[in-house]
Structure 1
């Protein structure tokens, strides 16, 4: 096994027969060496961990964590070394019992439909309404004081003139800014009687799997960079993240700041209340 420092130091596997089709790992290794890349170069460019790259080039797919992740790593590595991934994926399917079954459409649609059904409180509208009420009350008090012939107390130390009341100038009352700075909880507001998990691929792409408390599959597939998925259940959401370092989580309206490593596979469980990693 190469230490990933020099492509010239690596030697391809011995070819038993010229007519024999090369293995997936051998094809990837030969294409990498032909491109003048080391294992470290490929790992850095694809964000696939170094041990997994070594294992795949040795035709050992167990460290990938399943067929879905193995197929994704093969596709990513093939593209990094300018190799067509389609024949390699077909060869992998032939050797491992065929292509995985597609994700059912109904659970995916249901997971996508959850987010608009539940909306958090509109704090901006509530703040604006409160300010309007306060300003209206102040104006009503000033008008009532003028009708009664009483002297109004003016802000900023101004003295009313004799025989008439003084109305406030435009600088007397300064309304509060009705747009407070948004917080993490306001951005991802969620109902307290359910567990709500938002998964966003902010730093890359990752395969994710989500199940509810009954083990029913909500989603199993690739989340591209910039895409988000929201899942909701009455008591529990179970997640598997293929590349946790590329994912940002909001759980029950709170941002999760766990230091996930790039390329790390994480299995997480979240429930109602404060986020708890399972």
Structure 2
């Protein structure tokens, strides 16, 4: 009887299966409890509503409003409970079909029409007309002239020469200079119409994923706004915004800069109307 290891003893240590890995919501829940934080405490620190925190920890991402905002909430909550957000984002993408491509924004304003250039008077035609009138008058005087005909011819010839000289060297017409275009102010929408709500979103401090809808829920923009870029939205009554990284954004509403102290990485849901800017 030989002594040796059975095949079962030569098997490698079992790997942790995918089923053993906690879900995204479960991982956030465990990390929050381990950090000694409550749901209300996390909500206050991240400005993510308590109901959304509860839903995410239960792996219900429907209240987030879409994959883009779900990723933003996951990243914000992971940082608040001291987790690396990237593995959780990758796990979410794997479970929800990957990251969608951004949709281009629809143009909101028509391009200004090019005005035709104003032309000056046709001095050549004026000069020709003046010469024709003088020559005609000289001919008429020559036919009817008597003894003083030569003097009249001389005077009219001098007049024709002077008229031709004047027509050839016209006095330059003074054109009023066009008023200079005003430099853009910080808001760039200082003259926003009073009967509409106008919102300008500027990625001044970094790039951020943003979404904008009008009062009917129609999507105006849903995509990544690169650093230094800006978008302006206008509606008759209300603009609804979601900012994926509110700390990177500067807002101008109805010609007024919004001085909210948004945190870096925080997701913000905002609503602005025709009245004084108020956070929705």
TM-score, L = length of structure 1: 0.46
Larger Rg: 2
TM-score by length of 2: 0.46
